[in-house]
Amino acid sequence: MTLSPYVSLTVLFVAALAFGLTPLGLAWLWGRVFSPAKPNATKNAIYECGLESKGDAWVQFRPAYYLYAIIFLIFDVEAVFLLPFAVAFTGLGYAACLSMLIFVLLLVEGLAWAWAKGVLTWE
């Protein structure tokens, strides 16, 4: 009977899992058996550099931030693409220039759309 080639892999996988989980399990068991839990209000409180936490952590941000960030990101990435294009400009053919023009125009269209929507006007 020949063993499947995956048997050794499985054994190694189980060994690796045990190697990681055994110390954790032992530590947990040790804590359970020997160390009495001493929770209290201060210990269970939210950690905030020693201060008492105030208010809610779920602060709302205006979506305008998000739109600004994403428009910035798009033009940032565009600059990354434009730079090698500009460097290699003299050696490029007609097709390369046209495809780059389409790429830029697509983004300009997006900018025009955002402008028309009034995203760029900060209130």
Residues that bind another protein (CB under 8 A): 34-36, 38-43, 45, 47, 49-52
C-alpha distances out from residue 20 to 12, 13, 31, 60, Å: 12, 11, 18, 40
Rank residues 39 and 63 by Cβ distance to another protein and give the closer one: 39
Least Å distance, CB 42 to another protein, is 4
Least Å distance, CB 22 to another protein, is 15
Least Å distance, CB 51 to another protein, is 6
Count CB-CB contacts under 10 A for residue 76. Answer: 9
Helix ranges restricted to H, the chain: 6-33, 41-44, 63-87, 94-117
23, two tokens = 């110390």
Rank residues 24 and 41 by Cβ distance to another protein and give the closer one: 41
Rank residues 48 and 109 by Cβ distance to another protein and give the closer one: 48
